[in-house]
Structure 1
Amino acid sequence: MAAAVDDGRARREIVEAADGLFYAHGVNAVGMDAVRERAGFPLKRIYKLFPSKEDLVIAVLEHRSRMWNEGITRAERGSADPVARLLAVFDFLAAWFREDGFRGCAFINAYGELGPGSTRVARAVREQKASFRVHVADLVGRIGGSPALAAQLVLLAEGAQTTAAIAGSPEAADVARGAALTLIEADTGASRTA
């Protein structure tokens, strides 16, 4: 039955299965047999689409990057106010941290497990983090903030992810949001109550 599934759909289903397993258990702890079992495709088909486990990890990180970008976009969509859009990043984090099964940032987790030994994984993680920095810098530019403010806000968001995962504290996003507002006010000179 799985053989009748086109390659595009099979890739999506395999990536989603691997993503769930890698995120819940870690990349190194999950063998390709577990991916086969969860995805429902023979190993031969999986290896045809992903010649190595590293190829599958890269595809999962690309999937996670799309999920992240879509989540941030949805969170920002509700407001035309540029400061509210910037703070929506932290609102997105707050909702994510409260999801069942939250285990921190998949990119940080993958880098911690594989980054030192895989230049491809390290590059994928760095690209995602750089993309987020550019996005935040764009939002900060719209409020007349400085490049230093953008860097500080990115650091707050990244730190909140790590704190929430390690401490099991979803409130880290709320604390980071409050700190972000303080930094925005200090940098731009505008007093806000967002």
Structure 2
Amino acid sequence: MKRPLTGVSAAERIRASARVLFYNNGIRSVGVEEIVQNAGVTKPSLYRAYESKDGLVAVYLDEFFLTCRKRFEEAEAACPDDPRGQLLFYFDGLAERASHPAYRGCGLTNAILEFPNREHPIRREAARLKQAMADWISSRVMLLGKRDPEVLTSGLVLLMEGAFVAGQAFAPPGPGTHAGMVARLMLDA
């Protein structure tokens, strides 16, 4: 068992442990025992804080989405009043992330792939959060006044999801490293 960090609550250690393990190894392959051992806590601590592994997974998905939301906010702050610049800022950052050897794609996409039953609560939550990501892209595209904004949005969402998966499927740097350039081509078409 790992030695607990001083001043960090058991719930925070569990959450941090789960975040790393779920992202690197997958949700289904990680058991409660591995999470608590890695966090340096006991199983009852996990159940007190999260009620179940599924409750902990829901927190993981929400936190992963907050990271995505932060990237959108950074794009908006970097390119105020410039939706094209915001999209390119996001896709340039995605290209950089997707080219790193430790990149495991999007935790939300990974959860959707791990839970093929569309009615599973984890799948539904991950899909809801993925839709919020697509909605952000759509909101930027709508501000551009482009012809066929739905088609452009769909293309950019496909590019985003492709970069998430390509970052895992191909040896670094892989095709995801060109996400920003491909977004430029799409936006300029």
Q: Which runs of 5+ in 2 are unaligned?
A: none
Give the secondary-structure state (helix, strand or coil) at the position aligned to 1:41: coil
**Contact kept? 1:115, 1:121, Cα under 8 Å:** no
Q: Displacement, 1:173?
A: 3.4
1 CA distance for matches of 2:119 and 2:41? 26
Q: Which residue of 1 aligns with 2:98?
A: 97
2 CA distance for matches of 1:122 and 1:61? 10
Q: Which residue of 1 aligns with 2:181?
A: 178
Q: Displacement, 1:82?
A: 2.3
**Contact kept? 1:164, 1:172, Cα under 8 Å:** yes
**Contact kept? 2:101, 2:173, Cα under 8 Å:** no
Q: Which residue of 2 aligns with 1:192?
A: none
Q: Displacement, 1:175?
A: 2.5
Q: Displacement, 1:12?
A: 3.1
Q: Which amino acid aligns with 2:181?
A: G
Distance 1:26 1:118, change over 3 A: farther
Q: Which moved more, 1:20-29 or 1:109-118?
A: 109-118
Q: Taking structure 1 as the reference length, what is the TM-score of the superposition?
A: 0.83
Between the aligned residues of both structures, percent identity stands at 27
**Contact kept? 2:32, 2:53, Cα under 8 Å:** yes
Q: Which runs of 5+ in 1 are unaligned?
A: 187-194
Q: How many residues align?
A: 183
Distance 1:132 1:89, change over 3 A: same
Q: Displacement, 1:27?
A: 1.8
Q: RMSD of aligned C-alpha atoms?
A: 2.4
Q: Displacement, 1:92?
A: 1.9
Q: Which moved more, 1:38-47 or 1:77-86?
A: 77-86
Deviations 1:97-137 (A, max 9, x none): 24452112211222222342861111111111110111001
Q: Which amino acid aligns with 2:14?
A: I
Distance 1:125 1:144, change over 3 A: same
Q: Taking structure 2 as the reference length, what is the TM-score of the superposition?
A: 0.85
